[in-house]
Amino acid sequence: MSMFVVLLIGYLVSNCYSHQRDYCWKEYLGSVPPDAVIAGETLDGQNVYVGQAFIKNVGLIPGRVIPGDPKLHVPHDGQSKEGKYIKILCGPQDNFYWLKANSTDLHHLITDQHPVVGGHDESNGYLNVGRISVGGDTKVGKVDSFRVEHANFYYSDGQAEKLTKSYEILMYRHKILL
């Protein structure tokens, strides 16, 4: 009888506080899935999407997907690296939102919220997804939140990696199932 009670309590607690995350990363080969997450627009008004690319000996790094371009340029070590194995973030657009943040206050801002994990750095850990607008052109890249008060945003600009301390971070509205 006591084993039954323990199992019942464990089941109820896990189900009461489980988060429904209905997003995923799909393989990107040049065609944008209808449920891809839009991050903004290019200068000519074309949608920009959230992507990630695997870079050997570096990790899985977030960046921007531009429809029709089979390459994804991601920021790393001061350069823009070209990733070949690309995925695109998909899910209900209404469940995602962008939170204004900066490198010193990020950890306080995201307490009790769910920033989207956009990849990982093999040396440090998880990376989040960030964006900024540069002259009306949306740049998507990595938020390096490993060190408190130094959560910088890195993005590709031409062949260079750029850093900024003010940006938006991609968040997810999770639903608690009761």
Q: What is the pLDDT of residues 129-138, one digit of tens each?
A: 999 999 999 9
Q: Is 161 inside a domain boundary? A: yes
Cα 130 from Cα 141, distance rounded (Å): 5
Q: Is 75 inside a domain boundary? A: yes
Count of domains in the chain?
Answer: 1
Residue 157 in tokens: 């600009």
pTM of the complete model: 0.83
Q: Is 7 inside a domain boundary? A: no
Q: What is the pLDDT of residues 88-132, one digit of tens each?
A: 999 999 999 999 999 988 888 888 889 999 999 888 889 999 999
Q: Is 15 inside a domain boundary? A: no
* Residue numbers of the domain that contains 71: 20-176
Q: What is the pLDDT of residues 67-78, one digit of tens each?
A: 988 788 887 777
The contacts found for 117-125 with CB under 8 angstroms, 24 or more apart, are 118/50, 118/52, 118/61, 118/62, 118/89, 118/142, 118/143, 118/170, 119/52, 119/59, 119/60, 119/61, 119/62, 120/59, 120/60, 121/58, 121/59, 121/61, 121/146, 122/57, 122/58, 122/59, 123/59
* pLDDT of 2 higher than 80: no
Q: Is 33 inside a domain boundary? A: yes
What are the helix and strand counts (H, E) for the chain? 2, 17
Q: Is 10 inside a domain boundary? A: no
Q: Is 60 inside a domain boundary? A: yes
Band (pLDDT 50/70/90 cuts) for residue 16 is very low
* pLDDT of 83 higher than 90: no
Span between the terminal Cα atoms of the chain, in Å: 25
